[in-house]
Amino acid sequence: MFKKFLRRKSLMTLLFLFVVQACNQISSLVSLEGSVGEDSSTKEQSLVEYYERLEKQKLAVGLLRQDGGGSDTPFDSDDIARAFEKLAFFNEYSISQSTLKPNLTPVSLAKWNAPIYIATKFGSSVTPKEKKRNLKEVEDFSKNLSEITDHRIEMSDRNSNMFVIFGNQEEIPILIKEVSFISTGFDLQKTKLLSKLPKDIQCLAMTQVKADTIGNIVSALIIIRSELPNLLKKACIQEEMAQGLGLSNDSHLARPSIFNDDDEFATLTEFDKILLKILYDKRLNSGSSFQYSSDIINQISLELEQ
């Protein structure tokens, strides 16, 4: 799956799952290293202008929809089941040192079993107005996700286990270090790869699976560039928070969906809500294989389609 407007990439290591968004044509190997070749004094403004142009280009060709899907995007229970298999039981990439490699190996189902407590962190480049807007979007979307999944998801600075950070190119490494001191489970050897993001990576999510269990997500780190314009930033918030719940892959089979490389949708769709309901249905257990879960998934898909 290598498309011209690829925005989302997923990768799995032994204990960590990364979901990376980008907007470029990629080769079979993708490096996480390297940054925009500009002086630090002009880098941020250059990125702001770049992302503003990118957003306008996508809107001009009918991408970044916010209508949730409609008559032009029909789907049935078979579409739901096929998409869920690809999103929940596969990771698009594995990580080797600083390189992403295509990964076609099936994985076990991953989901949260404990309540999710979300904390936000902002770099100094984020204005008070933008901070207020971003915080409200995270709060509103966390409530939406909680209602959809019937899982406890709320904002809290105490016992936080999902961190959403907003910062520019220079601030992201600092914010990552701050989170690593709070949540010691994050491997700094892995997270330091995120310190120099190429401009085509707009945002990403990293989830930690508990070492002594299979598929039990216990913490998540979501990184969003503060240089992004409002709609691209909103798209990042919604996709990364949603994928941080356990739908770690992207697939062309998912439509209408934000879990698709084509950037057709910027915000959560009705199709996406069904996928999340399936993931957090109590009949599906973390750590289970697709072979074990396929009949249950088909049954839930039929129920939710009605």
What confidence score (pLDDT) does residue 181 get? 79
Predicted pLDDT of residue 227? 95
Average pLDDT, stretch 252-278?
95
Can you read off the two tokens belonging to residue 216? Answer: 């039990």
- Judged by average pLDDT, the poorest of 61-75, 97-111, 237-251 is 97-111
Residue 96 maps to a domain? yes
CA distance 9 to 136: 26
Residue 254 contacts residue 52 (beta carbons within 8 Å): no
Under a CB-based contact definition with an 8 Å cutoff, are residues 199 and 140 in contact? no
The verdict on residue 32 lying in a domain is yes
Whether 1 maps to a domain, the answer reads no
* CB distance 259 to 245 below 8 Å: no
User: What is the tens place of the pLDDT at every residue in 165-186?
Assistant: 999 988 998 998 888 878 766 6
Residue 197 lies in a domain: yes
Average pLDDT over residues 220-233: 95
Domain with residue 175: its CATH number is: 3.40.390.10
As a residue count, the chain comes to 306
- DSSP-derived letter for residue 125 is T
Average pLDDT over residues 203-210: 86
| Residues contacting residue 7 through CB under 8 Å, at least 6 positions apart | 21, 22, 23, 202, 261, 263
Average per-residue pLDDT for the chain = 83
Tell me the angle at which helices 290-305 and 270-279 cross, rounded to the nearest 10 degrees. 130
141 falls within a domain: yes
Does 77 fall in a domain? yes
Domain of 134, in residue numbers: 6-305
What's the domain count of the chain?
1
Residue 176, domain member (yes or no): yes
Q: Left, alpha or beta for 287 (phi > 0: left; psi -120 to 50: alpha)?
A: left
Phi, psi of 185 (to 5 degrees): -70, -20
Higher pLDDT among residues 129 and 248, named by residue: 129
Q: Is the dihedral of CA 127, 128, 133, 137 positive or negative?
A: positive
Note whether residue 82 is domain-resident: yes
Span 126-143, pLDDT tens digits: 999 999 999 999 999 999
Backbone angles phi, psi at 232, to 5 degrees: -65, -35
Q: 3-state DSSP call for residue 11? A: strand
